Amino acid sequence: MSWSSIVGQERVKALLKRTIQSGRIAHAYLFYGPEGIGKDALAIEFAKTLNCAKGGVEACGICPNCQRMDSFQYPNIKLVFALPVGKNEEKGDDPIDVLTEAQVAEVQEQIQTKAKDPYQRIEITKANFIKINSVRDIKREAAMSRIEDGKKIFIIFNADMMNAEASNSLLKTLEEPLPGTILLLTTSAKDQLLPTIVSRCQLIKCDLLSDAEIETALIAHDGANESIARLAAQLANGSYSNARRLSVQDMMGERKDVVEFMRLVLGKRKTALIDMLDELASSTDRLGIERWLKLLQSWLRDALLIQQKAHAPILEEEKQSMESFVKNFQQANLIAAIQSVEKAIAHLDKNVYLHLILTTLAIDLRKNITEVPLV
């Protein structure tokens, strides 16, 4: 891995590089921001660069330290994450040694997966929180003599999963920094951490990714075709992981619902439209409605590109019907239609009645596309 392999986050990368170049490394950092934007990847690359034998703001990727870090085999780097509680586990027990062979195998498999893909979340069966023994292990490991030169770095993934005992134990460690030791915490729920833990860390706020950054990554790293990557990026809410989880089948099914909605809005089957609005408002939560509206917005943007005879990476399954739509409604004000959807999305955050949002949207869309009122 390298800085360039991390999707987006150019501001944060520049900040971390300046920090390394200055040599003024704090004893603890908290990487925070929404799920799936690269917090873990940033923390891992920061740790790798700090221990690269060549020094500098870029890890060389070829020295023994870098190569072992790539597989998490470097002894100066330790990972902390949620683990199951071992049978008869007691205070001071090694957090791994108390697990069964099957659990240890699962942990090792998850670590290997994380090493290959830092955007994968480590999830162990029956691991509901970060144990106090895992946090105590930090102090024990830090007190041991270094096997090799370099900084001892502990990366605590999803630090908000610490239980109360673990949080208090970590706080004591932060209050008495261990020489030559650096703690890197990541979280998508900073408010769930003890304020005293947050206050003792250097805060690294990570940014939402742009649609373009996500789209490029999906094409380059995941082999997605251009149209699917673009659609997934628009629905991902700035999260690369969200985009990767989106099923092609689910997206295509939902886009078909969008097309049916447009047919009903522009047609004469008012009863069918009312039934669809009722179903959407009653069976879908606000997050589901937001996703559906973004799909609608994406469909209208594609139609606008065709209308303007611009390049449009349209899904083959939709190309014919979309071209037919543009031909049949040549005077459609698609920019205003897109703005109507944007307004509907904004109203979701204001707790406006869902049925009212969707009904108003249907009226606005018909007016913008046909100039014929929906009465």
CB 78 within 8 A of CB 47: no
CA 333 → CA 336, 359, 365, 370, distances in Å? 6, 19, 9, 9
Tokens of 222: 């995941």
In the predicted structure, residue 202 carries a pLDDT above the cut 90: yes
Q: What does the alpha-carbon distance between residue 79 and residue 261 come to, in Å, rounded to a whole number?
A: 49
Is residue 372 scored above 60 in pLDDT?
A: no
What is the per-residue pLDDT for 313? 63
Q: Quick one: which H or E segment has residue 164?
A: helix 164-175
CA nearest neighbour of 336 among 366, 373, 356: 366
* pLDDT surpassing 80 at residue 209: yes
What pTM did the predictor assign? Answer: 0.76
Neighbours of 363 (CB within 10 A): 15
Q: What is the DSSP string of 173-221?
A: HHHSPPTTEEEEEEES-GGGS-HHHHHTSEEEEPPPPPHHHHHHHHHHH
Contacts of 356 (CB under 8 A, 6+ apart): none
Please say whether the beta carbons of 192 and 163 come within 8 A.
no
d(CA 41, CA 241): 12
Handedness of CA 68, 69, 72, 75 (dihedral sign): positive
Q: Residue 175 is encoded by which pair of tokens?
A: 């209050």
Separation of alpha carbons 267 and 259, rounded Å: 12
Residue 227 pLDDT grade (very low, low, confident, very high; cuts 50, 70, 90): confident
- How does strand 77-80 pair with strand 202-205? unpaired
Name the residue with tokens 């007190």.
Answer: 143
CA distance 306 to 48: 47
- Which of the four pLDDT bands, split at 50, 70 and 90, describes residue 140? confident
Output 34 or 372, whichever has higher pLDDT. Answer: 34
How far is the C-alpha of 18 from the C-alpha of 363, rounded, in Å? 53
Average pLDDT, the chain: 85
pLDDT at position 178 is 77
Name every residue whose Cβ is closer than 8 Å to that of residue 255 and which is 6 or more positions away in sequence.
231, 295, 299, 315, 318
d(CA 244, CA 136): 35
Encoding tokens for residue 298? Answer: 């994406």
**Residues comprising the chain, all counted:** 375
| pLDDT, tens only, 93-122 | 788 888 888 988 998 999 999 888 899 889
pLDDT tens-digit series, residues 143-162: 776 566 678 899 999 999 99
pLDDT, position 316: 64
- What is the C-alpha to C-alpha distance for residues 32 and 85, in angstroms, rounded to an integer? 27
**Looking at residues 251-270, what average pLDDT do you find?**
80
Residue with tokens 């707790």: 351
| Cα–Cα distance measured from residue 23 to residue 307, given in angstroms and rounded to the nearest whole number | 55
CA angle 312, 315, 318 (to 5 degrees): 105
CATH number of 3-205: 3.40.50.300
Q: Which two tokens stand for residue 44?
A: 């891992």
CA-derived radius of gyration, the chain = 25
Amino acid 312: pLDDT: 61
Q: In sequence order, what are the residues at sequence separation of 6 or more whose Cβ sits closer than 8 angstroms to the Cβ of residue 157?
A: 40, 79, 80, 81, 121, 122, 186
Query: In the sheet that 181-187 helps form, which strands lie side by side, from edge to edge?
Result: 77-80, 152-156, 181-187, 28-32, 202-205
208 or 316, higher pLDDT: 208
Predicted confidence at residue 157, as pLDDT, reads: 94
Residue ranges of E strands in the chain = 28-32, 77-80, 152-156, 181-187, 202-205
Span 278-298, mean pLDDT? 79
Chain segment 294-314, per-residue pLDDT in tens: 888 888 888 888 888 776 666
